[in-house]
Structure 1
């Protein structure tokens, strides 16, 4: 009887711990949603206050975009060119290889705005839709040399240069406009999880060996700061991404 009671007490403790973890995770998600709602409200307020400017009204709901530096994507409003902005989180140096066999580094994107995602060529699920939406961005900014696209393979052991070349040809990807990159798996996963925060999984710890798979697109400015996260499967989100790219283009 004593042994049975002890087991029941242990089970109760386990259930309480699990309930507490779920409660914390739910509140983290709620706080994240609240932050995003505040971001949208601020953006709406700015766009209303500036409604007399018809040109600005057509290009963006806000005059500037927030900065992000961690996985909750809490917005930070900084002044471009300020010391605070200069010391803010940036995408670190990396060395990868694109579909042409060219070395691609952080320097490739100096003074460029770029949109980035993570995919793999044999993906039967979300990747085809993501690639289709990246193609829309390629078409939208085809003639603008200041806008680039960057897609990281999350299966670099399979996605070799010839495989990426074939994929690029099939998807009508413009070389040097849209870089499909492969390389060291550990480096790619580290970039995705620890620097782009691309998975955005609140409260879920991921081991470095866990498969990285997400529909998110990230918008990176000319100084390597994260300025937006978007659902790469959602038409409205892609439309907003295009607007936000134009906002960054006008940022001084």
Structure 2
């Protein structure tokens, strides 16, 4: 039996914690929480950790003028939004990696294009250093940085990051792939059962 077949036959009943950028799963040692943040959303409203307190949420990174993976990421986030629209425990958080361009009006136009519900899903901009810091040290979203430590590198990642109600990372998924989005939905179900 291959590893993949074995994984299919095992039913996952709990999720690991991810405490470092190498995404080594830890089953009983949560140490890393998403650090405090404060950004501005598509409506011009301040969004902080308090906004997501007690919520399961999916975070990602994008920019509005991205011609490559971002439209696919946003489309998949929009599908997740639709699935969990009535679920008050689930929220979404998309951070721009081009804050010098992605102003509140641009985020608002992008949100309207993709039918983003501001009660469910925040598209945020703010200080570049703060955004890049949380991407790299909060969500471990910049694989190139872990290799090069070059702070001037532009951040671009296809990851969706699943964060639990306590602020711990519980899963990382390729947001461009349907099979990974399905895995994310299964893992959300597991988190909801544990709460």
The TM-score normalised by the length of structure 1 is 0.73
**Residue from 12, 16, 26 that aligns with 1:76:** 26
The answer as to 2:176 corresponding to 1:226 is no
Q: Which residue of 2 aligns with 1:136?
A: 79
Deviation of the 1:199 alpha carbon:
2.4
> Which aligned segments of 4 or more residues in structure 1 are displaced greater than 3 angstroms?
200-203
The answer as to 2:42 corresponding to 1:92 is no
Deviation of the 1:44 alpha carbon:
5.6
Q: Which residue of 1 aligns with 2:121?
A: 178
Structure with bigger RCO (C-alpha 8 Å, 6+ apart) = 2
Deviation of the 1:197 alpha carbon:
0.5
CA RMSD of aligned residues (A): 1.9
1 or 2, which has the higher strand percentage?
A: 2
Q: Deviations over 1:60-109 (max 9, x none)?
A: x311100001111000001xxxxx54xx1100101100001110001111
Deviation of the 1:191 alpha carbon:
0.5
Distance in 2, matches of 1:162 and 1:249, equals 35
1 or 2, which has the higher helix percentage?
A: 1
Query: Does the 8 Å contact 1:190/1:208 carry over to 2?
Result: no
Deviation of the 1:205 alpha carbon:
1.3
Determine helix, strand or coil for the equivalent of 2:58. Answer: strand
Q: Which residue of 2 aligns with 1:214?
A: 157
Where does structure 2 lack aligned partners over 5 or more consecutive residues?
none
Deviation of the 1:200 alpha carbon:
3.2
Determine helix, strand or coil for the equivalent of 2:25. Answer: coil
**Residue from 19, 35, 51 that aligns with 1:108:** 51
Q: Deviations over 1:117-170 (max 9, x none)?
A: 000000000100000110111011011011000000001111111111111011
Structure with the greater alpha carbon radius of gyration:
1
Q: How many residues align?
A: 193
The TM-score normalised by the length of structure 2 is 0.93
Query: Does the 8 Å contact 1:93/1:105 carry over to 2?
Result: yes
Any residues of structure 2 matched to 1:121-132 within 5 Å, and which? 121-132=64-75
Distance in 2, matches of 1:69 and 1:203, equals 14
